[in-house]
Amino acid sequence: MGGSAVYDATYFVKSALAGGLCCGFTHGAVCPVDVVKTRIQLEPAVFNQGMLSAFRTIVAKEGMGALATGLGPTAVGYFIQGWFKFGGVEFFKIKATQALGEEAAWNNRIPIYLGAAAGAEFIADIFLCPLEATRIRLVSNPQFANGLISAFPKIIKQDGVIKGFYSGFGPILFKQIPYTMAKFAVQGWAAEKIYKAVNLKPETATDAQNLGVALSSGVTAGVAAAIISHPADTLLSMINKEGAGGSGSITSRLFNLARETGFRRLCLNGLGPRCVMIGVLTAGQFAIFDSVMAATGAEKFHFTDPSKSATH
C-alpha cells in the first residue's frame, strides 16, 4: 500500500487541500458554461437553440458580466466540496484497504471506489448545498443580490435556512452521489483500459503519457457522470427558482416539477453543455489533484496488486 508512504493526518490534509484547489479552480473556470447550462434548464422556451445561441443571447441582452454570475458561491462552494470529496475518498479507500488487507482491497477496488465516493460526497454536499442554492438564485435572478456575501443574509431573511438553502438537498444528493461514484469508478476503469489499449503501464510510462491517460480517462468519466446525474441536476436548478413546484413540501415540489417537465426534458435539457463542462472539469480535476499532491510531497495512494511488484 504505497511502500514507505505514510497515510496519516498530514496526508489527508494534503489530499483535501488538493481536492479543494482542483474543484474550486475548475468550477470557477467554467462558470460561464454553468451559467448558460442553468439558464437553459430554467428557461427552455427562451434558450432553445443550443449552447452557442444561448451564449450569444445572454451576452447580447445582459453583457459579458452575466457569464460570471454566481462566480463567488461557485468557487467557494466547490473548494469546500472538493476538500471533503477528494479528501474523503482518499480517507475512506485507505481505511478500507487497511481493514481488508491489500489483496482483498485490490480485488474489490471498484466497490471500494464506489463506497468511498458515496460517503465522501454525502458529507461534502451538506456544505455545498447552501452555496449551490445561492449560485442558482443569483443566476436565475441577477438582480437578487450583488454576490455571495449580500445574497446569504437576504436568502435567510426571505426563506429561512432550511427552505432557502436546503430545498435542493434531495436533488443534490441524487445528482452528486451517483455523479461522484461514476466519476471515480469510471476514471479508474477507463485508465486501465487506455493503458491496455496503448500497451503501456503507469509505472513505465513517461510523465506526459501518464498525464494523457489521466486527461483521457477524466473526460470519459466526466461525460458518463454527467449523463447519469443530469435529471437530478435539472431538478436542482429548477427547485431553487422562486415559486418553482408550488408551495408544498420539498418532496411534493420536486414531484410537481418532474411531472411538469417530463422525463425527456429532465434528461436532455442542458445536457450538451453539461457534458462539455463536466468532461473538461473532470479531466482538469484529476490532473490538478495529482500535481498538487506531488507539489506538497505526498506520495499518492494506489491500490496494490500483491501478486506483482508494481503498483496499480
pLDDT tier for residue 4 given thresholds of 50, 70 and 90: low
* CATH number of the CATH domain containing 162: 1.50.40.10
214 neighbors 206 (Cβ within 8 angstroms): no
Residue 312 belongs to some domain of the structure? no
Residue 310 belongs to some domain of the structure? no
| Overall average pLDDT of the 280-302 stretch | 86
| Overall average pLDDT of the 204-222 stretch | 85
Residue 295 belongs to some domain of the structure? yes
Residue 172 belongs to some domain of the structure? yes
Whether residue 312 has pLDDT greater than 50: no
In a 13 Å sphere around the CA of 177, the CA atoms on its Cβ side amount to 15
| Overall average pLDDT of the 192-212 stretch | 81
Residue 4 belongs to some domain of the structure? no
Whether residue 5 has pLDDT greater than 80: no
Of 48-57, 128-137, 254-263, 285-294, least confident by mean pLDDT is: 254-263
- Phi/psi of residue 14, each to 5°? -65, -40
45 neighbors 288 (Cβ within 8 angstroms): no
Give the integer Cα–Cα distance in Å for 127 and 136: 15
Residues in the chain: 312
Whose grid coordinates read 482518499?
A: 90
- Crossing angle for the helix pair 207-239 and 109-140, nearest 10 degrees? 50
Give the integer Cα–Cα distance in Å for 161 and 125: 15
pLDDT tier for residue 185 given thresholds of 50, 70 and 90: very high
Give the integer Cα–Cα distance in Å for 58 and 66: 7
Whether residue 23 has pLDDT greater than 90: yes
Give the integer Cα–Cα distance in Å for 161 and 59: 33
Whether residue 92 has pLDDT greater than 90: yes
pLDDT number for residue 243:
64
pLDDT tier for residue 293 given thresholds of 50, 70 and 90: confident
pLDDT number for residue 241:
64
pLDDT number for residue 267:
79
- Crossing angle for the helix pair 31-42 and 9-29, nearest 10 degrees? 60
Residue 186 belongs to some domain of the structure? yes
Which range of residues forms the domain containing residue 265? 9-303
Phi-psi region at 70: left, alpha or beta (left = phi > 0; alpha = psi -120 to 50): left
Whether residue 256 has pLDDT greater than 50: yes
**% of the chain with per-residue pLDDT over 90:** 30
Residue 308 belongs to some domain of the structure? no
pLDDT number for residue 1:
58
- 197: helix, coil or strand? helix
Q: Please list the residues that pair with 304 across neighbouring strands.
A: 311
pLDDT number for residue 240:
62
- Nearest alpha carbon to residue 71 among 175, 128, 152, 148: 148
Residues 6+ apart with CB under 8 A from 61: none
CA distances from 295 to 19, 205, 291, 292 (A): 13, 20, 6, 5
- Measured at the CA of 86, the angle between CA 84 and CA 90, to 5 degrees, comes to 105
Q: Tens digits of per-residue pLDDT, 42-81?
A: 787 788 777 788 889 889 988 888 888 878 888 888 899 9
Whether residue 310 has pLDDT greater than 60: no
Residue type, 46: V
Whether residue 2 has pLDDT greater than 60: no
Give the integer Cα–Cα distance in Å for 138 and 35: 10
Counting the structural domains of the chain, the total is: 1
pLDDT tier for residue 219 given thresholds of 50, 70 and 90: very high
Residue 218 belongs to some domain of the structure? yes
